[in-house]
Amino acid sequence: MTFPAPLTGVVPPVCTPLTPDREVDVPSLLRLVEHLVEGGVHGLFVLGSTSEAAFLTDRQRRLVVETVVGHIGAQLPVLAGAIDMTTPRVLDHVTAVTAAGAQAVVVTAPFYARTHPSEIVHHYRRIAAASPVPVIAYDIPVAVHTKLPAELVLGLAADGVLAGLKDSSGDLAAFREVVTGARAHAGFSVLTGSELTVDSALALGADGAVPGLANVDPHGYVRLYRLCRAGDWEAARSEQERLCALFGMVGVGDPARMGTSSSAIGAFKAALHLRGIIDCAVTAEPQVPLSGDEVAKVGKFLAGAGLL
Amino acid sequence: MTFPAPLTGVVPPVCTPLTPDREVDVPSLLRLVEHLVEGGVHGLFVLGSTSEAAFLTDRQRRLVVETVVGHIGAQLPVLAGAIDMTTPRVLDHVTAVTAAGAQAVVVTAPFYARTHPSEIVHHYRRIAAASPVPVIAYDIPVAVHTKLPAELVLGLAADGVLAGLKDSSGDLAAFREVVTGARAHAGFSVLTGSELTVDSALALGADGAVPGLANVDPHGYVRLYRLCRAGDWEAARSEQERLCALFGMVGVGDPARMGTSSSAIGAFKAALHLRGIIDCAVTAEPQVPLSGDEVAKVGKFLAGAGLL
Amino acid sequence: MTFPAPLTGVVPPVCTPLTPDREVDVPSLLRLVEHLVEGGVHGLFVLGSTSEAAFLTDRQRRLVVETVVGHIGAQLPVLAGAIDMTTPRVLDHVTAVTAAGAQAVVVTAPFYARTHPSEIVHHYRRIAAASPVPVIAYDIPVAVHTKLPAELVLGLAADGVLAGLKDSSGDLAAFREVVTGARAHAGFSVLTGSELTVDSALALGADGAVPGLANVDPHGYVRLYRLCRAGDWEAARSEQERLCALFGMVGVGDPARMGTSSSAIGAFKAALHLRGIIDCAVTAEPQVPLSGDEVAKVGKFLAGAGLL
Amino acid sequence: MTFPAPLTGVVPPVCTPLTPDREVDVPSLLRLVEHLVEGGVHGLFVLGSTSEAAFLTDRQRRLVVETVVGHIGAQLPVLAGAIDMTTPRVLDHVTAVTAAGAQAVVVTAPFYARTHPSEIVHHYRRIAAASPVPVIAYDIPVAVHTKLPAELVLGLAADGVLAGLKDSSGDLAAFREVVTGARAHAGFSVLTGSELTVDSALALGADGAVPGLANVDPHGYVRLYRLCRAGDWEAARSEQERLCALFGMVGVGDPARMGTSSSAIGAFKAALHLRGIIDCAVTAEPQVPLSGDEVAKVGKFLAGAGLL
């Protein structure tokens, strides 16, 4: 399939179900993909942060892409994260995920190494030059400790280096600057990574959303997307607020016992397990599992949103 | 060889010379190792931050360890970094570098994923359980954005999980807490990663140092170590101050044009090239090369320290 | 006058014009107030960050409040910042600004001293207990290095401690949590401090906005507010985008020569001077003045927005 | 008295004892000053961070300086903090504390307002030009969120703007750069604010120390200073380690209930109360008081150090 330019709609970052001994659970992954397709999503993003890409070995990453691409075929565009510290290591992942069939790669700024805007620019240029598929920038300061400046992204869009931006920065004002500026660059896709302000992002002109919570409730996000596209902002706000309440599940984990990643990804997986979509809610190491009480709270969030 | 417990002395994080097309330059790497051995160092740390481990592909990392271990044999202990984001990925590196002959592994806290002290503890426990060689914790907040708390390190030392600490945090007060506390744990090695306060660290009881600048001037750091061990603090201070002046080279790169990693590693490699030890001063991508003027400034630092 | 509950509409943080020798320029301040009133604003916020409250002496702060309140009478509500490091010092400012006639006080979390959520709660409780007028929380992490958690704000709203929130955090998702939660607390006012996402904030239910740029173009922000209230989101977006372009003026200052405060407040004052509203564009020390070229760029932003 | 150039020795940041209703407890303050003088200290620093300057009203600050200067006369140099956000406000404090008799002022970088190195330089130049007494820079990034660069401090030392540096940054390598560079500027005083590495700082050439814990054990720090000056580094290390163990008291406060300031200053005041020096251990608002159990732990630290 031709990769859409611009990519639009709801593109969930697909969770990676694991077996109790922490191997990729292929049947559960396929059921999750079916659940998302049935929910009406417009694309699939594998190996993102919500997919626990940072925790998967190279072998597991490859298996995830092959599994999803092999199953979905040309039905939906499949984007894959190529998450690593620096240019040479990212290039190896680009080779691996495109060989496995990914139709676009999603790449962060360098991390671990201290970096500089001119180095970030060079990073994206080198990767785009080597990649057989479009490159989408992934702005996620909470993970890489750098914010991609709007003018940097727009400069690379103008030069055809980047095909889009997935913005998980939470900074809507900077996001707006990219959305507005990108109107000059036909085909460039601006996607929000937020679960909580999808209506706001679409209202100001975003092309779509990549919400982790769409694993749990794809129908809700697709409904929200359609309401926004139809200009029914009142109904959109109401649907968004229902999803905001559901998102409260990411806080069930005791902060004295675990980090926010353990809590949020643990909650998404517990919800998928409670909804009968995946077999096992385990997360990758060194993340801490939710307790029984915490899982019960996830169930209450599902019930409150009409999903149980 | 048996890995020393505790490891003591000067253990440089070995730079990784590259060819102009950014492959590992094996002959230059061997000359650099010879230069360090001749300088009297007490061990070699490959695949650390100064080694550009974050920039090397898995294939390159393996080649570095094989080259250095193959050459040095049982002459000196060789430690290898297993630098990656999370437990499963670090475990793969531990397997690779120990298969290639590394006698200890050096491991940071998880990064990219948001983390929690209990998750860091679990991370080190899992890695130590799986590693055939001693595990040394690598505290480098500037890269991983977490500081290893002293009590966490001491707890893992008490349980025999960790064999040592390489502290690149720059926080001497916290370092002292580990040094003092570690006296209860025979064989635990506390090493400073600082170039600039080696005399201070040794005076308060550290076992050794892992200074990146020792690539350029191993004789100086070995001399400094011996003066400290002999209790000749006046002469030690004088040698340390000479090395501090030499370290000024890390600032030659224009901050409007490059990050601190490009400048510092670029300067070390330029110095090694000017001293005739490596063939090419190129750094890995996306780092920015030093200009001719900036390299000339490196030369002045070398001349000022009596090294040219 | 009775202070409105909730406060709604456009409430500019009023710039503090200074004379060339950096005294409060009372005639210019009165002209600025007239300009804002004529623009249709719904209240005035003096001694905020845009007012350079951090730079004004106690004597100057008092003069500002007396001047504005004395002029405006009961025409519009006047809020005053009580910006200082800790509870006892803030209490002194509350006494001073309410004696001078302020009808509400705006208070940040403690700063300089390291703080804790329980201490922030105690801070607001003590201040509200002592204040003769309503207390509005001021969430400005870029200045105080703490983000007010939504649940903390909502807890204090529920207890009647806080009468509102001015949110300058830039985090629209957290802002939404307060807006949604505050529906349970009649009379509580949720105001955005952003210049760039006023339409988004109002669309999700905010009561009003406190945009620094409204000094320069009050008519624009009042128009934007009315369009949002009328549900004309297309026209609102267009007006907001015009104001976003105008806001570009805050970046005219050379970052090699000055900080963002010098540049942004310098630009607002230069614009007010170019529009003939204030006599002198000088900012308080140690801020750096804009160059002639930089002021010329401010003029181009004004021209581009149809304001010159 | 002439202010010493350079100032050397142990210069405690004097705690500010409060009454139960949080007024300055003058008799306790005088007893504390006597305790410090009797301990052999070389100067007194009032209105520093450990003095809770950030929490004291202007009236209370004046009372502290008048009380201490009135009592101590020309016996010892008295330095006073002039802690506020920006140049005009700091200048008011400089006027107040020098009118009350302070012989030097201690001034941080601007805070709350975002700042830039050129603005920090201008800040110190303006203050020094207006101050009738020497100005000492106070580097405390944990409070003001800016680190004073070594070259900035040395440039202002060279120009005679600054008379010294109190470094509470915890960055010994940067501190060393100032110490080494300041040898060219006779009379410039470089003081460490650390409690835990005083021996290290003196060994590399510092002039003295400003340790908050010296309120509790002035004799210990004076002994440590003398041992360092005598070059008896073994005995110095032993004394320093005793003081490090005593400093553990700053961690008695439950981090789930209070911030580090409440815990550390609370512990110092509890220790002074337990030692019979001050009447009441209360801290300023919004700090949280230590519980009875936490105070008991302070007592154990005192007993362990031979002070009860």
Q: How confident is the model at residue A308 (pLDDT cuts 50, 70, 90)?
A: confident
- C85/D54 touch (CB, cutoff 8 Å), yes or no: yes
- pLDDT of residue C203 exceeding 70, the answer is yes
Residue numbers of D between 3 and 32 with CB closer than 8 Å to B: none
Q: What percent of chain D has pLDDT over 70?
A: 100
Residue B276 CB neighbours (<10 A): 10
Q: Is residue C55 part of a domain?
A: yes
pLDDT mean over A272-278: 98
pLDDT mean over C74-89: 97
pLDDT of residue A2: 82
Range of the domain at C71: 9-232
Mutation target vs C (from A177, A200, A213, A237; most C CBs, 10 A cutoff): A200
**Which chains have 3+ CB pairs within 8 A of B?**
A, D
Q: Give the gap in angstroms from C-alpha B306 to the nearest C-alpha of chain A.
A: 31
Q: Is residue B262 part of a domain?
A: no
Q: pLDDT of A227-270, one tens digit each? A: 999 999 999 999 999 999 999 999 999 999 999 999 999 999 99
By the CB < 8 Å criterion, does B244 face chain D? Answer: yes
- pLDDT of residue C80 exceeding 80, the answer is yes
Confirm if D221 and D243 have CB atoms less than 8 A apart. Answer: yes
pLDDT of residue B2: 82
Contacts of D110 (CB under 8 A, 6+ apart): C286, D85, D86, D87, D119, D120, D123, D144, D146
Q: pLDDT of A98-137, one tens digit each? A: 999 999 999 999 999 989 999 999 999 999 999 999 999 9
Cβ contacts below 8 Å, chain A against chain B, sum to 138
Q: How confident is the model at residue C1 (pLDDT cuts 50, 70, 90)?
A: low
Q: Give the gap in angstroms from C-alpha B231 to the nearest C-alpha of chain D.
A: 9
Nearest CA in chain A to B55: A86
Give the catalytic positions of D in this structure: 138, 166
- pLDDT of residue B108 exceeding 90, the answer is yes
Mutation target vs C (from D16, D24, D85; most C CBs, 10 A cutoff): D85
pLDDT mean over B167-196: 98
Give the catalytic positions of C in this structure: 138, 166
Mean residue pLDDT across chain C: 97
Sequence ranges of the binding site of D for pyruvate: 50, 210
ipTM of this model?
A: 0.98
- D58/C56 touch (CB, cutoff 8 Å), yes or no: no
- pLDDT of residue A303 exceeding 90, the answer is yes
- B145/A144 touch (CB, cutoff 8 Å), yes or no: no
- C173/A197 touch (CB, cutoff 8 Å), yes or no: yes
**Which chains have 3+ CB pairs within 8 A of D?**
B, C
Residues from chain B that touch D240, judged by Cβ atoms under 8 A, are 204
Q: pLDDT of A206-226, one tens digit each? A: 999 999 999 999 999 999 999
Residues from chain D that touch B180, judged by Cβ atoms under 8 A, are 241, 244
Indicate the pairing of strand A208-209 with strand D135-139: unpaired
Residues from chain A that touch B144, judged by Cβ atoms under 8 A, are 112
pLDDT of residue D240: 98
By the CB < 8 Å criterion, does D151 face chain B? Answer: no
pLDDT of residue A1: 63
> Which residue blocks in A131-197 are alpha helix, DSSP H?
141-144, 150-158, 172-182
pLDDT mean over B136-143: 98
Question: Which residue of D170, D180, D203 is in closest CB contact with B200?
Answer: D203
Q: Which of A81, A52, A59 is nearest to A266 (CA)?
A: A52
Q: pLDDT of C112-149, one tens digit each? A: 998 999 999 999 999 999 999 999 999 999 999 999 99
Q: Is residue D253 part of a domain?
A: no
Q: Which two tokens stand for residue B205?
A: 């009881």
Q: Which of D198, D167, D171 is nearest to B170 (CA)?
A: D171
Question: Which residue of A177, A200, A244 is in closest CB contact with C200?
Answer: A200
Q: Which two tokens stand for residue C220?
A: 């624009």
Mutation target vs C (from A197, A199, A233; most C CBs, 10 A cutoff): A197
- pLDDT of residue B1 exceeding 70, the answer is no
Q: Which two tokens stand for residue A306?
A: 């009409």
Q: Give the gap in angstroms from C-alpha A204 to the nearest C-alpha of chain C.
A: 7
Q: Which two tokens stand for residue D42?
A: 């070389």
Mutation target vs B (from A56, A62, A64, A85; most B CBs, 10 A cutoff): A85
In the sheet that D208-209 helps form, which strands lie side by side, from edge to edge? D9-10, D208-209, D189-192, D164-167, D135-139, D104-108, D78-81, D44-46
Residues from chain B that touch D171, judged by Cβ atoms under 8 A, are 170-171
pLDDT of residue D55: 98
Contacts of C284 (CB under 8 A, 6+ apart): C18, C22, C52, C55, C56, D86, D87, D88
pLDDT of residue C2: 82
Residue numbers of A between 182 and 221 with CB closer than 8 Å to C: 194, 196-197, 199-200, 203-205
Q: Is residue C1 part of a domain?
A: no
Ligand-binding annotation for B107, yes or no, is no
Q: pLDDT of A16-52, one tens digit each? A: 999 999 999 999 999 999 999 999 999 999 999 999 9
Tens digit of each residue's pLDDT, chain D (308 residues): 689 999 999 999 999 999 999 999 999 999 999 999 999 999 999 999 999 999 999 999 999 999 999 999 999 999 999 999 999 999 999 999 999 999 999 999 999 998 999 999 999 999 999 999 999 999 999 999 999 999 999 999 999 999 999 999 999 999 999 999 999 999 999 999 999 999 999 999 999 999 999 999 999 999 999 999 999 999 999 999 999 999 999 999 999 999 999 999 999 999 999 999 999 999 999 999 999 999 999 999 999 999 98
Give the CA distances from residue D60 to residues D55, D67, D267, in Å, rounded to whole numbers and listed in that order: 9, 10, 22
Nearest CA in chain B to D174: B196
Question: Which residue of B58, B88, B118 is in closest CB contact with A288?
Answer: B118
pLDDT of residue D1: 63
By the CB < 8 Å criterion, does B159 face chain A? Answer: no
Q: pLDDT of C11-28, one tens digit each? A: 999 999 999 999 999 999
How far is it, in rounded angstroms, from Cα A63 to Cα B239? 55
The greatest distance separating any two alpha carbons of chain B, rounded to the nearest whole angstrom, comes to: 52
DSSP secondary structure letter of residue D110:
P
- D180/B244 touch (CB, cutoff 8 Å), yes or no: yes
Q: pLDDT of A39-85, one tens digit each? A: 999 999 999 999 999 999 999 999 999 999 999 999 999 999 999 99
- A288/B119 touch (CB, cutoff 8 Å), yes or no: yes
Q: Is residue A48 part of a domain?
A: yes
Residues from chain C that touch D116, judged by Cβ atoms under 8 A, are 255, 257-259, 262, 288
Nearest CA in chain A to B92: A57
By the CB < 8 Å criterion, does D286 face chain C? Answer: yes
pLDDT mean over C31-51: 98
By the CB < 8 Å criterion, does A96 face chain B? Answer: no
- Count of residues for chain D? 308
- B233/D203 touch (CB, cutoff 8 Å), yes or no: yes
How many Cα atoms within 13 Å fall on the side-chain side of residue B146? Answer: 25
Q: Is residue D45 part of a domain?
A: yes
How far is it, in rounded angstroms, from Cα D284 to Cα C151? 25
Q: Which of B169, B133, B131 is nearest to B153 (CA)?
A: B169
Nearest CA in chain A to B288: A119
Q: Give the gap in angstroms from C-alpha C110 to the nearest C-alpha of chain D.
A: 8
pLDDT of residue B268: 98
Q: pLDDT of B22-56, one tens digit each? A: 999 999 999 999 999 999 999 999 999 999 999 99
By the CB < 8 Å criterion, does D300 face chain C? Answer: no
Give the catalytic positions of B in this structure: 138, 166
How far is it, in rounded angstroms, from Cα D179 to Cα D192? 10
**CATH number of domain containing A57:** 3.20.20.70
Q: Give the gap in angstroms from C-alpha D32 to the nearest C-alpha of chain B.
A: 27
- D171/B176 touch (CB, cutoff 8 Å), yes or no: no
Of the residues A166, A221, A225, A297, which is catalytic?
A166
Q: Which of B92, B86, B79 is nearest to B130 (CA)?
A: B92
How far is it, in rounded angstroms, from Cα D197 to Cα D191? 12
Q: Is residue D290 part of a domain?
A: no
Residue B116 pairs with which residues in a beta bridge? none
Q: Is residue A73 part of a domain?
A: yes
- DSSP per-residue letters across C144-192: HS-PPPHHHHHHHHHTTS-SEEEE-S-BHHHHHHHHHHHTTSTT-EEEE
Question: Which residue of C177, C195, C197 is in closest CB contact with A172?
Answer: C197
Q: Give the gap in angstroms from C-alpha B194 to the nearest C-alpha of chain D.
A: 8
Residue D142 CB neighbours (<10 A): 15
Number of domains in chain D: 1
